[in-house]
Structure formats: C-alpha cells, structure tokens
Chain A
Amino acid sequence: MDKLRPIIGRLLKSIAIIATIIVLNFLLIRLAPGDPAAAMAGEAGAADEAFMAQLREQFGLDRPLYQQLAYYFADVVRLDLGYSYRQREAVVELILDRLPATLLLTISGFIVALGLGVLMGVTSAMRVGRLTDRLISLFALLFYATPLFWVGLMAIMLFSVWLGWLPSFGMESVGAGYAGWTRAADIAHHLILPAGTLGLFYVAVYTRLTRASMLEVKDMDFVRTARAKGLRHGLIVRRHILRNAMLPVITFAGIQAGQLVGGAVLTETVFAWPGIGRLAFDALLQRDYPVLLGVFFVTSVMVVVFNIITDMAYRIADPRIEVAS
C-alpha cells in the first residue's frame, strides 16, 4: 500500500488540475463576447425576444451561475464539450477526429528533440571547450532564439521549394489512394519536415540541459572509481555518467510537455497538418469559442497524462526516488 501512495497522490493532483481547467473554461465562456442565446438564435435564423427567452430556458442560461457550472462540469465529465455551431458538429467528434494526427506529430517531435538533444549534449560535454562543443553550443543558442513557425517556413523554402525533396503541406498525398505500407511511407515522408521543425527548438533545450547535467556528473567520485577500475571510456559515459545525468532531463521533459503541445499548434498551422492545432487555428479565425476551449481542455489532459508517464519513467530510471507527495 505504501508503494501505491505516491501514485495515488499524483492521480489526485492530476484530477484537481483537470477540475480547475474545467472551472477556468466555464469562466472563459462567460467572458466571451456575445450572448450565447443570441448566437444560437442567429444561427437558427430568428432572433425575437420570446424565442431567445425560450432558448435561455432550454439551455439553462437563466439559472444561477453555480448551477450552470455544475451542469457544465457534469457535461465535460461525460465528455460532452459542447457543439460547434459553425462546423455543425459536436466538439468532441471534431477533436477526436484530429487527435491521432496531433499525437503522431507531437510524439515524433518529442523523440527528435530528446534523441538529438541528448546525443548533442553528450558529444558537447565530452569535448568541453573544443571546436565541436563550441559549434554545438552556438547551434543550441541560435535555435533557442528562433521562432518555431519561422523555422518551419524556412524549411519549406529550402527543402520543398528549392530542393524539392519533401512535401510542404498535409499528412498524405491527396487522392493517391495508398494503402498499407505505401501509405505509412507516404505519411512518414510528410512527417519529416513538421516533426523536425517542432523538434528543433526543443533540441536546443535538451542539448543545453544534457550538457550541463553531464558536466556536473562527470567529475563525481563514482565516475573516478569506474575509471580507476579500468573500465572502457564508452562504458563509463553510457552506464555511469549518462544514466545519472538523464534524471534532470526526464524531469524537464515533463515540464516541457505543455510547451510542446503549444508548439504543435504553430507547426500544424505552418504545414497544414490535419491535427487539433490546425483545428484551433481555424477556430481562432472564426472565433469558434466552444472548439477553442475544447482544444484547450483536451491538450491539457494530454499534458497531464504525459506528466504521469514521465513521473513513472523517473521512478524506473532512479529507484531511490521517493516522489514527495
């Protein structure tokens, strides 16, 4: 039971965060300009006072605020995120349709960022002060300062317009009718630019973090011991230094998850990737608030889930950790 305790604490905390987001969403809907009844009446083509009063009653808009909040809460828990009057579809349907594309993009972007970042961070730390280190540090500094959407546009210029190597928009070739492995290869081909763009900014973050963390661990006593035992250099770097240096990197991966999802909105907009970020962009242009708030809710839940996963990864990487509840 004691082993389960931190996990239960973690779950309770996650539930509290999600509940707060629901309340926040409700308040934001109230803040949104325009009377929802008027909007609905407008969509229905009639806006006389009696009809609007009827609509208010029908949707409970005449009830006290706390009751409306309770209804809203119950709706969200039942996964009813409202209805998009512009797209004439339930918000949940719209989001679920697009979720796989976003998951594919963010997870690929994350793998690129973590893989390349750790690789460059290790290389840099092992060659402190030499040319390689300086070049990698310069690269990290540069990409840390570059807007993600601009990297995407410049990548399109370079790889699609000038070199013609990679497709610049969409997730698959329109009307090609591929199936099976050909389709997977086609999607992978379309994925390279968006995932690379999304990953590149975070490559900079992970490179700097891994480098600093490696340097900190590098001179510790147990590393000297391993060296004194005559272990091979590669083994020491991989098993002794890197394994210990990874802990802050994993923690940070959890913290960064929210930003990664935010970056996905920009990346999807640049590459016309059919995910929920693209959906959010369209909703922004049309001021389609239910969709926008639905995207905010779903992405927050994604981040919470991702945080739970990193928390577990952390405990597997370092069994000593007793995550404070």
Chain B
Amino acid sequence: MNSNLWRLLKDPGAAIGIALLVAVVVVAALAPVLYPQDPWSMAGRPFLPPFTDPQFPLGTDMMGRDIAAGLAYGARVSLIVGIVSTACAIVLGVTLGGIAGYYGGLADDALMRVTEFFQTIPTFIFALVMVAILSPSILSIILAIGIVSWPPVARLVRAEFASLRGREFVQAAIALGESDRHIILRQILPNTLSPVLVMGSLMVASAILTEAAISFLGLGDPNMMSWGYMIGASRTVIRQAWWMSFFPGLVIVLVVLMINLVGEGLNDVLNPRLARKGRA
C-alpha cells in the first residue's frame, strides 16, 4: 500500500489534488478557529466588494455576512455530505452486490431489477422529492444522495463477485469446506476493493455536486452554511454583486476537479491494466 501511495504522489495531477484537498480539510476543520463568529451573522457592511477591505478579502454578501467565513464553514457541509453519503452507498452497494454476485438466483434477479429501476428514473428529482418530504437537514440530504448512488456500486461488485466466484482460489476454498462468510469476507472481498475505491472517490465528487445543487434550490440544512446555499441566495443580486456567487462556485469547481484528478490517479495506480487508453 505504501508503494501505491508513493506512485500516486508521482502523478502530478493526483499530487496537486491531494495537496489541495488536504488544505480544504484543514480549513474545514479549523473553521471555528479561523472565523470564530457565526457565518450567518452580520459581520460588516453589506455588498462589500472583494479585495477592498483586508478584514473581508472576498467581500460580504447582501446581509453583510463574510464570504470567506461562509466558504470555510461550507467546506464542512460539502465534505461531510460527500464522504458520509458515499460511505453509506458503498456499504449498501457492496453488501447487496456481493450477495447477488455470490449466491446468484433470485437475489441476483431482484437486485438487477432494482438497479435498473434506479438507472432509469431521474435520480436528482427523486433525491429532491425525498429531501423535501423528509424535511431538509444534513441527514436527509445524506440519506437521499446515498439512496440514489448505491446501485452502480452494487452492479460493479456483483460483476466482480460473479467472476471471482469461478476462479481457482475460490473453488479451492469451497473445496476446503470454508464457510460462505469466510469466503466472501476473506477471499473475494479484498480482491474487489480497488475498483470500489476508485468508484468511491469519483462518487464523493458527484455527491458534492448534488449537495450543492440541492442547497442551491433552497433545500439545504437551514442551520448550516453551504456553498450551494450561498450561490442560490445571492443569484437574484448577481447583476450588482458578482462575487457572492462567483467564489463559492469557484471553490466547488476546484474541489470537485481535484477529487476527480485523485480518483483518476488512483485508477491508474490500482488498476494498471485498465489504465486510461491512449494517454500520451
């Protein structure tokens, strides 16, 4: 694993990505220290343009809230939602996909129908409906994103399990009389982890985009400052104050881009045979 990490760091895209993401995590963790004041409170003069007052380098919004502070606190929501919802989706997807791939039969058929269903419906609208009905909170957003994003994981794990099940080392374990539990957890699962890890890293990026879109539409957690909310709230004054929606959007692009770069770097390191084709 250590040598893998070293190889990942040698990929310039992934190295820059990791450095920037570490910085974002640090800022998110230290937000209450860096900006002790509540990000919702009026900190200065409303409509203060950026780069004019050293106290508010990115300016203030229409309520006089500090934009830099909003970005720091918003990083917490994006990271928490991105990571926790992906973790839920992976646990659910690996469990169901594993069962379907290993046992096949009825369980497999049922799972395939469910994933097909999720592949067809407009999942973003479904997530919106769920958040609206469960009432907006960080928990309902995590739940909604988790529910719509597990099926691809299940499909991937199912395919891996189904193909590994026929391989010699698994057949040998079966012949040795090992329990299903042992075979699933100790023999097959470790071999499916690297594609799942790659998929998971890309899922964090899309979960962050989905959370931003949900908050943009006004369904964010009403107690937590988030990037999507900042853009949604200030879009009506965009003609007078471009910076209020520009900076949060820029941060989203950067973070999502970095996660994608790390995910692709991870893919090249962990699945060298499946490395992107035609890379010059």
Interface residues of A (CB under 8 A from B): 13, 16-17, 20-21, 28, 31-33, 125, 128-129, 133, 141-142, 144-150, 153-154, 156-157, 161, 211-212, 215-216, 255, 258-259, 261-263, 265-266, 269-270, 280-281, 284-285, 287, 289, 292-293, 295-296, 299-300, 303-304, 307
Complex Cα gap A304–B248 (Å): 35
Residues of B within 8 Å of A32, CB to CB, are 133
CA distance A260 to B235 in the complex (A): 22
Task: Point out the residue from B121, B129, B276 that lies within 8 Å of A292, measured CB to CB.
Answer: B129
Interface centre among B116, B123, B213, B278 (most CB of A within 10 A): B278
Say yes or no: B213 contacts A147, CB within 8 Å.
yes
Bound together, the chains give a CA A161 to CA B240 distance in angstroms of: 10
**A303-B218 contact, Cβ under 8 Å, with A128-B280, A153-B249, A216-B277:** no
Q: How many residues of B contact A (CB 8 A)?
A: 46
Greatest chain A CB density within 10 A among B129, B218, B231 is at B129
Q: Is the CB of B209 within 8 A of A147?
A: yes
A18 nearest CB across to chain B (Å)? 10
Residues of chain B with a CB closer than 8 A to A211's CB: 278
Cross-chain contact of A304 among B120, B256, B260 (Cβ < 8 A): B120
Is A28's CB under 8 angstroms from B133's CB?
Answer: yes
Q: Does B238 reach chain A (CB closer than 8 Å)?
A: yes
Knowing A125-B278, A141-B257 touch, does A147 contact B235 (C-beta < 8 A)? no
Q: Is the CB of B260 within 8 A of A284?
A: no
29 A-B pairs with C-beta separation under 8 A = A17-B116, A31-B134, A33-B133, A128-B278, A141-B261, A145-B205, A146-B252, A146-B253, A147-B209, A147-B249, A149-B213, A150-B231, A153-B235, A258-B121, A258-B122, A258-B124, A259-B124, A261-B122, A265-B217, A269-B216, A284-B128, A284-B218, A287-B132, A292-B128, A293-B129, A296-B126, A299-B122, A299-B125, A303-B121
List, in ascending order, chain B residues with CB within 8 A of A284's CB. 128, 132, 217-219
| Residues in chain A near residue B122, CB distance under 8 A | 258-259, 261-262, 296, 299-300, 303
A173 to chain B, nearest CB (A): 19
Are A300 and B121 neighbours in the complex by a CB distance under 8 Å? yes
Task: Please name all residues of chain B whose beta carbon is closer than 8 Å to the beta carbon of A161 when the two chains form the complex.
Answer: 238-239
Q: A145-B256, A146-B253, A147-B249 are in contact. Are A281 and B132 (CB under 8 A)?
A: no
**Which A residues are CB-close (under 8 A) to B232?**
149
- The reply on B262 being an interface residue by CB < 8 A is no
Against A, the Cβ 8 Å flags (1 = close, 0 = not) of B128-160 are: 111011110000000000000000000000000
What DSSP secondary structure best describes chain A's contact surface? helix
Q: Cα distance A47–B9 when bound, in Å? A: 66
* Residue B245, interface by CB 8 Å: yes
Known contacts A265-B124, A300-B120, A215 near B252 by CB under 8 Å: no
Q: Say how far B260's CB is from chain A's closest CB, in angstroms.
A: 6
Chain A residues whose C-beta falls within 8 Å of the C-beta of B129 in the assembled complex: 28, 292-293, 296
Q: Is the CB of B124 within 8 A of A262?
A: yes
Q: How far is the CA of A287 from the CA of B134 in the complex (A)?
A: 11
Q: Which residue of chain B is the closest to A211 with respect to CB atoms?
A: B278
The closest CB in chain A to the CB of B258 belongs to A145
Task: Give every chain A residue within 8 A of B130 (Cβ-Cβ).
Answer: 28
Q: Give chain A residues whose Cβ lies under 8 Å from the Cβ of B133.
A: 28, 31-33, 289
How many Å from the CB of A205 to the closest CB on chain B? Answer: 12
Q: Is B6 an interface residue (CB 8 A)?
A: no
Are B238 and A153 in contact, CB atoms less than 8 angstroms apart? yes
Contacts of A280 in B (CB 8 A): 125, 128
What residues on A are CB-neighbors of B239 within 8 Å? 161
Whether B204 is near chain A, meaning CB under 8 Å from some CB there, is no
Query: Bound state CA distance, A144 and B260, in angstroms?
Result: 9
For residue B35, CB closer than 8 A to chain A, the reply is no
Cβ of A243 to closest chain B Cβ, rounded Å: 19
Q: Once bound together, how far apart are the Cα atoms of A266 and B128, in whole Å?
A: 11
Please, which residues of chain B bring their CB within 8 A of the CB of A262? 122-125
Q: Does B277 lie within 8 Å of A147, measured CB to CB?
A: no
A133/B124 in contact, CB under 8 A:
no
